[in-house]
Chains A and B, each alone.
Chain A
C-alpha cells in the first residue's frame, strides 16, 4: 500500500466505527480525538479493525503513535507496504 492508500484505509476504518462523523476536514497533524468525537473504546476499535482486516499488530505501547492521521500513516507505512 502507498501512503495515500494507507491514509484512505484508516479513514475508511474510522468511518465504519463512527459513521455519523464528517471526516472530510480531518487535519493530519492534529490529534484525531480533538477533531471528532472518538472515545477510548472507539480508538481501540481502530486498532482492532486494522488487525482484523489487514493482520497489522499494534502493541499497546505504540497506541500513541496512532493519535494523529499523519502519525498513523508514518507508523503503518513499513507495516502495510507489502499489503
Chain B
C-alpha cells in the first residue's frame, strides 16, 4: 500500500490537512504519537474534572452570515458547519496595565472606542494603522518578513498603547521574543481584536471530535500511538516513514506538523547545513484552578485578562523559572453559554524557562511548582478579585509538560521564531504545516493544514 500522503501529527493542522485530502479521495494516513489527538490543543481528565489544555478560546469568531473571514473560510473548506463547533461568544476581555485598561469584546467598534477614550491623542494614528492592517495580505505565502514593532511604531507614538496592543497578540502566538513578524501581527490582530473569542460549551474536545469525525467519514486513516522514529531519505526524497513500532509506511508526499526542526531531526542521514532555523525559546507554564464557586459569584466577569504589572511589556524567556510580572488569566465560565459549566475554572498562564524546569530533580520540580503557584496567585489577586479561598483543586503544567506531550523543542508551543510560509523543505516531497508554517491560533492552525494540503498535494 502506497499512501498519497502521510501526515505527521493529529493536531488541528494535521487533521484539517487530512480532511482536505481524504475528502478528495486521496489515500491518506495521519500518524499521532500519543494516545490522544489534538496536539497543542487537547483535553484530559484530572480528578474527574474535564479540562482543556492549550486553547483558552477559539479566536476569529464571526457571526453566521459573514463569509470572507478565516473561520467561515475554513469551515467551507472542511465541509463543516459553524454549528459543528458549538461556539458561544465571550463576555468581555481586557488588557490590564498599571495605569490603563483596554477592554475588548467581539464588537471591534467597542475596542476602537476604548482606544479613543484611553488614548485620545492616538485616535487618528490608530485609524491610520487600521488602514495599513486591513490593506495587508497577511496570508501571502511569499511576502518578505518585516518587524511588527517597526511598522506599528511608525504609526503610533504612545509607547504604552503599543505595549498594550502587543501584549495579547504576543501571548496568543508569537514565537519570537519581544517582536513578531508583521504578517503574523496582522493575523493575530484580526483574529483577537477585530473578530474575537468564542468557546464550545464542552471545550476544545468538541472541535477535535468534529475534525476527527469528518476525517473518518471521508475515509481517512488515523493511527494513534504511532510515533515516527525515522523519515528515510533516498535521492533527496522521502522514501518511507519508519514508525517506533518498527512498521514502515510509504507515502508519495509527507506533511509534517511536528515542527520544522523537530521534523528535520527525524530525517535519516541529516545534513546539518540544510537546517537553517533557530530554535524557539518561549515556553509557558499554566495553573489550572478548580473553584468551589462560579467566578462571577466572586465578582469576576471577564473572559480573558492579559495583565502586565509595569508600563513596559517584556516578552522573552525569563531568567528565572517563571515570569509572573505578566500573564494571561482565562475564565472558561465567562462565555455566553446557555447553561453554566459544571465547575468554576480559572487558568493562569505565565512565561517560563524550559531549561531551568528541565534541570530540576523530581522533588525540586514539585516544590517549585507549588512555589510558583503561590507567587502567581498573590500577583493575580492584585489584578482580579481574590479567589484563593475558593480553590478546591489545582493542576499545573510546565514547559517540561509541553515538551513531553507535544514534542516541541524547549517546550515552545509556538515553535521556531522564523516561519516557513510556503511549507517547503529541502526535500522535494516533504512539507511543513502547523505552528512552524506560521498561521497562528487554532483557526490559523487549521488554515495552515488546509493551505499546505491544497498547495502541495491537491494542486501539486
Contact = CB atoms under 8 A, between A and B. Distances in A.
A41 B458 CA distance: 12
B76 interface: yes
Nearest to B460: A60
Contact of A41 (B23, B24, B25, B450): B450
A18 B76 CA distance: 7
A41 B65 contact: no
A57 interface: no
A44 B458 CA distance: 9
A31 to B, nearest CB: 17
B45 interface: no
A37 B458 contact: no
Contact of A44 (B23, B65, B459): B459
Contacts of B454: 41, 44
Contacts of B36: none
Interface residues of A, number: 14
Interface string B66-77: 011000010011
A17 B73 CA distance: 10
A37 B68 contact: yes
B95 to A, nearest CB: 32
Contacts of B458: 44, 48
A20 interface: yes
Contacts of B73: 39, 41
A81 interface: no
Given A41-B454, A44-B459, A20 B24 contact: no
B25 A20 contact: no
B448 to A, nearest CB: 13
A42 interface: yes
A48 B455 CA distance: 12
Interface of A: 17-18, 20-21, 37, 39, 41-42, 44-45, 48, 51-52, 60
- Ordered nearest first, which 7 A-B pairs have the shortest CB separation? A37-B67, A48-B24, A52-B24, A41-B77, A37-B68, A52-B25, A48-B458
